[in-house]
Amino acid sequence: MSSKQAEALKVRLDKWLWAARFFKTRAIARDMVAGGKVEYNGQRCKPGKIVETGAKLVIPQGQDQKQVTVLALSEKRLSAPLAQELYAESAESIAKREANAAARKINALHSPRPDSRPDKKQRRQIIQLKHTD
């Protein structure tokens, strides 16, 4: 694709988010943008907003938020390695996500979960223990 074609390419925000593999479907991407979850250059916008290279986006991903800069445009959904070339995540965003992941991991250690569900005998013992006051 020549630079002239790249300049002429106009891509909607919801379509770009889908092509860059932030969301599994365009409908989900559209709903997230319309719901105000995705910020475009620090502001809410509509799903039909035309994306420009150099734009700053804040995108929710699970329990975290990614802060990315648009590097390239694409209307087609690409493979994951190629899709990652469409944007660059900021260093502070990466650091914040890693810190949050470490905090979640530490928190999980303080509330351990059993390896499996209790069997019938164990459930009866739990019920008996709870009702003996």
**CATH code of the domain covering residue 37:** 3.10.290.10
Q: Which domain holds residue 98?
A: 3-131
* Token pair in block for residue 105: 């991991």
- Evaluated on CA atoms 60, 63, 69, 74, the torsion sign reads negative
Report the C-alpha gap between 109 and 61 in whole angstroms: 23
Predicted model pTM: 0.75
Residue 111's pLDDT is 75
- What is the rounded average pLDDT for all residues in the chain? 89
pLDDT value at residue 31 = 96
The residue with greater pLDDT, 52 or 107, is 52
Q: What is the pLDDT of residue 8?
A: 65
Per-residue pLDDT tens for 78-97? 899 999 999 999 999 999 99
d(CA 96, CA 40): 20
Residue 100 burial class via C-beta count within 10 angstroms: exposed 0-12, middle 13-18, buried 19 and up: middle
| Residue 90 to residues 104, 106, 115, 120, Cα–Cα distance (Å) | 21, 25, 38, 51
Nearest-angstrom CA–CA distance, 54 and 113: 45
Q: Is the pLDDT of residue 36 over 90?
A: yes
Which residues, including other chains, have CB under 8 Å from residue 39's CB and lie 6 or more apart? 45, 57, 58
- pLDDT higher than threshold 60 for residue 110: yes
Q: How many domains does the chain have?
A: 1
Q: Is 12 helix (H, G, I), strand (E, B) or coil?
A: strand
- Report which of residues 133 and 97 the model is more confident about: 97
